[in-house]
Amino acid sequence: MAKKGINIHVLMVYPALTECPEQGVFEGVKYTFLSDKKYYNGNFLDKLYFRFFGLNNIRKFIFTEKVDAVLSYHDNFLTNFFVKLFTLLTSIPFVIDKTEYPYGYFQMSKMRQLLERLNLYLFDGFIVISNTLRDFYSKISKNVFLLPMTIDPDRFDGVSGGEERGQYISLTFGVHNRDGLFDSIITFHKYLNKSQKKSFKLYLIGDYNTLCENFPECYAIKTYVQENGLEDRVLFLGRKPIEEVPVILSGAQCLITTPTKYVSGGFPTKLGEYMLSGVPIVATKAGEISEYVTNNYDIFLCNVGDLDCMADKIIFIENHPEKAMIVGQNALNTAKFKFNANTYIKGMLEFLNSIKK
């Protein structure tokens, strides 16, 4: 939006944890930290003071800068309550971006769910990442805009490398245990058992130790690798700097992802990055993936849990690299349109204007 000439200013209630200027401009977007770093070392009263100090700065900004709309990523009731008052007084919409259900919502008591909904009722509208979330938040407000996962279309421009690693499959995983990492490794093992060529290794990008600390059952993954003699084939690369990830992904012959479901109601954000690499992808048909991609055209899809199908698709890529690369190129073209923020700017602005007070 900033590249389209729209004035965007990000106000952050909490101070930065790292050393960076209190205010500045990043890729055309202005930003300001509203609280002093002393916030993190203060007692309860100190933190309350800094919180209200930050809220007062938000108030002054909204009233003096002639803001047209406020978009929030903040779930804190106190902050939301006061910002709601400021937007009511200035007759501008207060909208929140939601990529998931409220955290732990379906495990909450009825009373806790009611309190959560009261927080959500403070907003005039919602920007969501999936149809599932659109259905959920439509029960709170009629003003809901579907903004699919968006990507930086230039992220892989000029990226090359990976040749020194030979032929390999790759994937990224998080520490939330939603990526089906164990299923991905079993899929790779099945590929090795079925393939005559056995050309590929498997490179895993992510913080495995933290994943296991959060979910001790994940220690079984390395046990499986060791018990099946896969140590030379399955390589844990650990966390990688953000600029190195595209190099590893774009150098692969295949990328895989095996989630079983999206309990958060969200969308597999890694899929857009995978597609942007131009490398053929094998994925389980979880969530709303099939609403954006087409099997055998810009992705290879299998039903959730059908790991034999996943292995067979990998073998197809191994045996027919030219055909597979056409699918990868189609994925790149799909991503640059369907997951490009520029595709949705006009609709998003119309949405915000439609709910102006």
| 293, 347: one domain | no
Query: Does residue 296 fall inside a structural domain?
Result: yes
- 73 three-state secondary structure: coil
The predicted model gives 290-303 an average pLDDT of 94
Say which CATH number the domain at 176 has.
3.40.50.2000
The confidence score (pLDDT) of residue 193 equals: 98
Give the Cα separation of 187 and 203 in Å (integer). 13
pLDDT of residue 98: 93
182 plus 329 within the same structural domain: yes
- For the segment 149-158, the average pLDDT, to the nearest whole number, is 84
The predicted pLDDT at position 157 comes to: 84
In a domain, 272, yes or no: yes
Which of 33, 113, 48, 125 is closest to 79 using CA atoms? 48
Instruction: Give the number of C-alpha atoms closer than 13 A to the C-alpha of residue 143, restricted to the C-beta side.
Output: 23
**Same domain? 177 vs 316:** yes
| Weakest-pLDDT range from 32-41, 86-95, 167-176 | 32-41
**Residue 144 and residue 187 share a domain:** no
pLDDT at 197: 96
130 in any annotated domain: yes
Higher pLDDT, 255 or 11: 255
**Do 149 and 229 form a contact (C-beta atoms < 8 A)?**
no
Quick: pLDDT tens for 171-225: 999 998 888 999 999 999 999 999 999 999 999 999 999 999 999 999 999 999 9
Same domain, 205 and 125: no
pLDDT band at 104 (very low <50, low <70, confident <90, very high): confident
Q: Are strands 23-26 and 144-146 parallel, antiparallel or unpaired?
A: unpaired
Residues 265, 293, single domain; the answer is: yes
Q: What is the mean pLDDT of residues 293-314?
A: 96
pLDDT surpasses 60 at 263: no
Residue 157 within a domain: no
Is 259 found in the same domain as 206? yes
Domain for residue 203, yes or no? yes
**pLDDT above 90 for 63:** yes
Q: Kindly state whether residues 210 and 129 are assigned to the same domain.
A: no
Give the residue numbers spanning the domain of 231: 163-338
Q: What is the pLDDT of residue 75?
A: 83
Per-residue confidence (pLDDT) for residue 187, from 0 to 100: 98
What is the band of 283 on the pLDDT scale with cuts at 50, 70, 90?
Answer: very high
Do 320 and 198 belong together in one domain? yes
Are residue 207 and residue 130 in the same domain, yes or no?
A: no
Split into its structural domains, the chain has a count of 2
Residue 158 lies in a domain: no
Burial class (CB in 10 A: 0-12, 13-18, 19+), 170: buried
| 327 — pLDDT class (breaks 50, 70, 90) | very high
Same domain, 290 and 242: yes
Q: What is the mean pLDDT of residues 279-292?
A: 91
58 found inside a domain: yes
Q: What is the pLDDT of residue 221?
A: 97
Could you tell me the end-to-end alpha-carbon distance of the chain, in angstroms, rounded to an integer?
A: 22
pLDDT band at 351 (very low <50, low <70, confident <90, very high): very high
As separate numbers, helices (DSSP H) first and strands (DSSP E) second, the chain gives: 12, 13
Average pLDDT over residues 298-322: 97
Domain shared by 169 and 311, yes or no: yes
- pLDDT of amino acid 286: 85
Cα dihedral 287/293/297/301 (nearest 10): -10
pLDDT at 106 over 60: yes
Share of the chain above pLDDT 70, in %: 96
Q: Is the model's pLDDT at 6 over the cut of 70? A: yes
* Averaged pLDDT for residues 268-290: 90
In a domain, residue 332? The reply is: yes
Q: What is the pLDDT of residue 143?
A: 97
